[in-house]
């Protein structure tokens, strides 16, 4: 029992001091990728909200544009999930499957950010 507690303590303390620039284990790489992905997801959500807010203007066609953009965003989310799940399944027997999945999700999010920014001509 003491050994289990010691292992749990070591695992939790090592994750707090995780150096993502020098991650060498699969677990550390997965954790670093997940942290980076959270940042990209937050940016994606911010950009999407900004685009939708921009489209709240008085232009006659903006309500329809907003509705179609919402529909497109929902379809994009389903596409990304299916596409990245396919990558995960393709690599399911490998130790890097989670890293591949996270990378796929992040890559799609970064592309979507650019697409949304171009939609209204913002950076």
Residue 100: domain span:
25-120
For the domain that residue 66 is a member of, what is the CATH number? 1.20.1270.180
| pTM beyond 0.85 | no
Residue 20 lies in a domain: no
Residue 99 lies in a domain: yes
CA of 96: how far to CAs of 35, 84, 113, 121, 123, in Å? 16, 13, 26, 37, 33
Say which residue, 120 or 115, is predicted with more confidence: 115
Average pLDDT over residues 16-45: 89
Residue 4 — very low, low, confident or very high, per pLDDT cuts 50/70/90? Answer: very low
Cα 117 from Cα 104, distance rounded (Å): 20
Residue 50 has pLDDT above 50, yes or no: yes
* DSSP structural state of residue 56: T
Q: Is the dihedral of CA 98, 99, 102, 103 positive or negative?
A: negative
Residue 11 has pLDDT above 60, yes or no: no
Residue 72 lies in a domain: yes
Residue 14 lies in a domain: no
Residue 9 lies in a domain: no
Residue 112 — very low, low, confident or very high, per pLDDT cuts 50/70/90? Answer: very high
Say which residue, 95 or 43, is predicted with more confidence: 43
Cα 73 from Cα 116, distance rounded (Å): 10
Amino acid 61: pLDDT: 80
The answer to whether the beta carbons of residues 100 and 91 sit under 8 Å apart is yes
Query: Tokens 């990728």 map to which residue?
Result: 33
The structural domain count of the chain equals 1
106 burial level (CB within 10 Å; 0-12, 13-18, 19+): buried
């Amino acid at each position: 029992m003491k050994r289990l507690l010691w292992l749990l303590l070591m695992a939790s303390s090592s994750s707090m001091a995780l150096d993502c620039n020098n991650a060498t284990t699969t677990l550390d790489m997965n954790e670093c990728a997940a942290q980076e992905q959270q940042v990209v997801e937050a940016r994606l959500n911010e950009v999407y909200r900004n685009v939708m807010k921009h489209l709240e203007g008085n232009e006659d066609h903006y309500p329809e544009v907003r509705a179609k953009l919402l529909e497109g965003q929902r379809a994009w989310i389903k596409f990304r999930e299916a596409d990245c799940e396919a990558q995960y399944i393709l690599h399911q027997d490998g130790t890097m499957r989670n890293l591949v999945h996270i990378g796929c999700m992040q890559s799609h999010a970064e592309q979507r950010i650019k697409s949304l920014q171009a939609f209204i001509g913002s950076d």
